[in-house]
Chain A
Amino acid sequence: MTAETPKKIKVSSLCELCHGRKAVMKRPKNLQKLCKECFYVVFETEIHNTITDAKLFQPGDRVAIGASGGKDSTVLASVLKTLNERYNYGLELVLLSIDEGIKGYRDDSLATVKRNQKQYEMELEIVSYKDLYNWSMDEIVSCAGIRSSCTYCGVLRRQALDRGAAKLNINHVVTGHNADDMAETVLMNLLRGDTGRLEKSTTILTQSSGSPIKRSKPFKYTYQKEIVLYAHYKKLDYFSTECTYAPEAFRGTTRELLKALEAVRPSCIMDIIYSGEHLALAPKKPKKHNQQYKNKSKKVLENQEQEINPDGSVSLGREKKIEFKDGNRCEKCGYLSSNKICKACMLLAGLEMNRAKVTIDGNTSVDGAAKLTKTLEQLSF
């Protein structure tokens, strides 16, 4: 086989699927050597399979894409637009963004979303924490500290997305959660002992009977690295800075573990999801009733004692606890909640107690770390 042309490709460096084009990348999922065109095909077809297997959409559905301007949601918008046209899903796609109020981070990423909106010709709705809750994330962090930032942000965002969708008259929000996020969640739920969420950690479509809004994750089986590659080859416009508050959380340690594992065995993300789909709680064993005679006298005593909470209130007995029912509503804001008061209202009430009573005009110290980094970057000497 003499070289007729100088840039003849060796047979061994051809794409492993079409064998006709030069391979340009190693597929993160299984290290297959692929050309660009074949990568697009497998990437998009896998997402299409995921969507059809789970029967996510019905023709005529209006679907909101939770768009942050980051790579996941940008690729999601692009792929859904492609698939919608290719396979005639008959969907009307709308972009829905949340403005958490993190200066130097979200304001820039929202600009990206606005550019995407023009490019993909989709409607865009932006909902802000400040408008909804009268708190921006920067203010929350300055009040509650950086360690719990993700707790607040997560709870508030969930509600904000629902409210945004309701405003748009849409009952289905798709988010860019990818396979890495999914695997991370499975591990996290095990590590934190969160049995309530364990069985549900890998469900692709979540819906509560009382809530009109469904959520789904078409990227459930899509590797983060492949999303990055897809965005790169398709030259998609996305915003790539990580949230400046993120690295502090416990999730970070799990993420590191997952990265190390993926380096040793690339399939491990899929493997964890497969495991996650099989995790199920055993039926509860009936409680043993032996040795009751010993504790009888003690029980009577216990009933007479009453614990006083630190704030002076008294907890009501367990018997009166309200049964968990799907469809309960928060007494304060009317949002879906398993308790009397929803999680967001509870967090906000806690914050409200600690809010500074007096503020200095033009005070910029509440602007978070993101803003500070940004300012430092722009300094010149």
Chain B
Amino acid sequence: MGSPIEYLDGSDSRLCSRCATEKGVLITRKEVFCKACFIRFIRGKQRKQMQDEKYKVKYGKAKELAALNPTKILLALSMGISSLVLFDVIASLLQEQMEMHKGNTGFELVVLNIDEYELTSLNNSIQAVIPKLKSFFSYVDISFKVLNINSYILDETLIKRIRLYPDFHATMTDSDKNVSSGLKDLLLSCPNKSSAEDLLTIVFDELILRTAYVENCSTVVYGHNMTRIANEIIALTVKGRGSSIHEKVLDHVVHYQDKSIQIVYPLKDVLRAEVEAYCNLIGLSDLKLESTKPKATINRNMTIRDLTTNYFNQLDATGYASTASSVVKTGEKLGPPKNFESSGSQSITQCQVCGIDIHQNPQNWLKRITVNESAPLVTEEDEEYLKLYNESKSAMASLGETEESEAITNPLGICYGCIVTLSSIKAEDGFLWPIRNSAQEKEDILNEYILTEDEEE
């Protein structure tokens, strides 16, 4: 049982169990579906998740109100199959609304793609695909936005040199060099692939929220399927970011600057195999963009998310396929951490790298369980070596590192997950990364708005 879906070939004469008239094309969840009923079934999953009045076509007084402040939904389109399927599902909802309500719709759709062409060497550029997308969804009116990842850097003065010391405290200094390098270059100096992947997630999340903010979208929809969400929950746990599961990968409300933005995962009940089937049946597969970089095949070369993805694929193949659904259900029951509120003395602060709440001082936690004391030296020979070491160390220091130590340093508030991500960076070199400054951000974001207009297709 490799896949939870069984495809029926032409010779199979079983009828669809829903309409009982058409010939079935596949079996999923122990039911035979024809093409039309299967598509309707998947679309129904989204309809169920987004039943709120605000997505419906309004009449009367509600219509007047809506005209002043129309509901706008931002769709995060990565051009992978899940987000493409969600695009199709939501576009079909708009089409249905138009047909039933004389051309009126309940919401406007904004589609955002963050361009990964350079970063992950995609097989095609988004610009080349947009015309195809537009003709595929010609029946609805959608505005497309394409963002460059470099726009994460709102202001170059926010790029700091971050240093992490053996006792886990972190500092930031104004970057001495004139940094005009883009985010890609900053990411390239990442010590390993998993760290780059983690930082990129932070960048994407922030860019999507920021776009929702400037575009006045009150809802953001992600195409994540059930397997993907389960994977994300486990990956967050592994990365030491377990405290943020409840506010990262499941339906929730984010307070961004002065607005509340609702995050919805309409495909959270749909299995990955079902998304694939939908994609093939409807002919969306040709549109998807993929990385042309060869995938790592040895465990050692994989990122944390690669490993957890493989794990879920393997579970599917060995008959533990229901695991994804239990992980998602468990994730949905999680809330903010509890055990730390009572310790009152320290209030919750935010991480200056990724912005999440810090509930328990990670430095103290790590220091207690990663001791850096040494055993006393016993022999004269040992003392000799220590002398040699100190000599060579001071020789190194005089080679030009003294300037650095004189630079103005500030302590950096950093969460556990970010410490882990940045931990393999050498303290001497530090790591350049834009830090967060919420006071300044709003102004910068609004200025940025002009930029996104330019890039609009």
Interface string of B302-340 (1 = CB under 8 A from A): 111001100100110010100100110111011111110
Cβ of B226 to closest chain A Cβ, rounded Å: 13
Is A30 interfacial (CB-CB < 8 Å)? yes
**Chain B residues whose CB sits within 8 angstroms of the CB of A192 once the complex forms:** 323, 326
Question: Is the pair B334, A277 in contact by a Cβ cutoff of 8 Å?
Answer: no
Is B388 interfacial (CB-CB < 8 Å)? yes
Question: Is the pair B238, A261 in contact by a Cβ cutoff of 8 Å?
Answer: yes
Cα distance, A257 to B241, chains bound together (Å): 18
Cβ of A15 to closest chain B Cβ, rounded Å: 7
Question: Is the pair A261, B307 in contact by a Cβ cutoff of 8 Å?
Answer: yes
**Chain A residues whose CB sits within 8 angstroms of the CB of B242 once the complex forms:** 272, 274-276, 278-279
**Chain A residues whose CB sits within 8 angstroms of the CB of B383 once the complex forms:** 20
Residues 371 to 391 of chain B near chain A (Cβ within 8 Å)? 371-377, 382-383, 385-386, 388-390
Residue of A nearest to B331 (CB): A190
Residue in B335, B370, B376 whose beta carbon sits within 8 Å of that of A282 in the complex: B335
**Chain B residues whose CB sits within 8 angstroms of the CB of A29 once the complex forms:** 370
Main secondary structure of the interface of B (DSSP, over half): helix
Is B234 interfacial (CB-CB < 8 Å)? yes
Residue in B238, B335, B423 whose beta carbon sits within 8 Å of that of A281 in the complex: B335
Residue in A268, A274, A280 whose beta carbon sits within 8 Å of that of B335 in the complex: A280
Interface string of B360-371 (1 = CB under 8 A from A): 101001101111
Is A9 interfacial (CB-CB < 8 Å)? yes
Question: Is the pair B360, A190 in contact by a Cβ cutoff of 8 Å?
Answer: no
Most buried by B among A195, A270, A271: A271
Cα distance, A260 to B307, chains bound together (Å): 7
Cα distance, A1 to B385, chains bound together (Å): 12
Cβ of B153 to closest chain A Cβ, rounded Å: 27
Residue of B nearest to A36 (CB): B375
Cβ of A294 to closest chain B Cβ, rounded Å: 16
Is B45 interfacial (CB-CB < 8 Å)? no
Question: Is the pair A46, B374 in contact by a Cβ cutoff of 8 Å?
Answer: no
Is B239 interfacial (CB-CB < 8 Å)? yes
How many residues on chain B are close to A (CB under 8 Å)? Answer: 66
**Chain B residues whose CB sits within 8 angstroms of the CB of A143 once the complex forms:** none
Is B416 interfacial (CB-CB < 8 Å)? yes
Question: Is the pair A275, B300 in contact by a Cβ cutoff of 8 Å?
Answer: no
Is A45 interfacial (CB-CB < 8 Å)? yes
Question: Is the pair B337, A187 in contact by a Cβ cutoff of 8 Å?
Answer: no
Residue of B nearest to A35 (CB): B375
Is A53 interfacial (CB-CB < 8 Å)? yes
Cα distance, A353 to B377, chains bound together (Å): 66
Residue of B nearest to A22 (CB): B385
Is B233 interfacial (CB-CB < 8 Å)? yes
Question: Is the pair A221, B369 in contact by a Cβ cutoff of 8 Å?
Answer: yes
**Chain A residues whose CB sits within 8 angstroms of the CB of B336 once the complex forms:** 280, 282
Residue in B236, B320, B326, B371 whose beta carbon sits within 8 Å of that of A275 in the complex: B236
Is A283 interfacial (CB-CB < 8 Å)? yes
**Chain B residues whose CB sits within 8 angstroms of the CB of A53 once the complex forms:** 368
Is A316 interfacial (CB-CB < 8 Å)? no
Cβ of B325 to closest chain A Cβ, rounded Å: 8
Question: Is the pair A42, B372 in contact by a Cβ cutoff of 8 Å?
Answer: yes
Q: A192-B326, A271-B239 are in contact. Are A21 and B416 (CB under 8 A)?
A: no
**Chain B residues whose CB sits within 8 angstroms of the CB of A270 once the complex forms:** 240, 366, 369-370
Cα distance, A274 to B382, chains bound together (Å): 37
Q: A186-B237, A190-B237, A257-B308 are in contact. Are A45 and B330 (CB under 8 A)?
A: no
Residue of B nearest to A9 (CB): B385
Question: Is the pair B335, A283 in contact by a Cβ cutoff of 8 Å?
Answer: yes
**Chain B residues whose CB sits within 8 angstroms of the CB of A21 once the complex forms:** 377, 382, 385
Cα distance, A194 to B337, chains bound together (Å): 17
Cα distance, A270 to B417, chains bound together (Å): 11
Question: Is the pair A42, B333 in contact by a Cβ cutoff of 8 Å?
Answer: no
Is A300 interfacial (CB-CB < 8 Å)? no
Is B194 interfacial (CB-CB < 8 Å)? yes
Residue in B241, B323, B374, B385 whose beta carbon sits within 8 Å of that of A191 in the complex: B323
Is B359 interfacial (CB-CB < 8 Å)? yes
Cα distance, A268 to B326, chains bound together (Å): 23
- Give 10 A-B pairs besides A257-B307, A267-B240 with Cβ atoms closer than 8 angstroms: A11-B385, A21-B377, A41-B371, A191-B327, A264-B194, A265-B304, A270-B240, A271-B416, A275-B239, A279-B337
**In the complex, the 4 A-B pairs of residues with the closest C-beta atoms, listed nearest first:** A275-B242, A282-B335, A193-B326, A271-B240
Interface residues of B (CB under 8 A from A): 192, 194, 233-234, 236-243, 245-246, 299-300, 302-304, 307-308, 311, 314-315, 318, 320, 323, 326-327, 329-331, 333-339, 359-360, 362, 365-366, 368-377, 382-383, 385-386, 388-390, 392, 416-417, 420, 423
Write 23 A-B pairs (CB below 8 A) sorted by A numbering. Answer: A11-B385, A11-B388, A18-B377, A20-B389, A30-B370, A37-B375, A41-B371, A41-B374, A46-B369, A190-B330, A191-B326, A193-B329, A253-B311, A253-B314, A264-B192, A265-B304, A271-B238, A271-B417, A274-B365, A275-B238, A277-B339, A280-B334, A282-B333
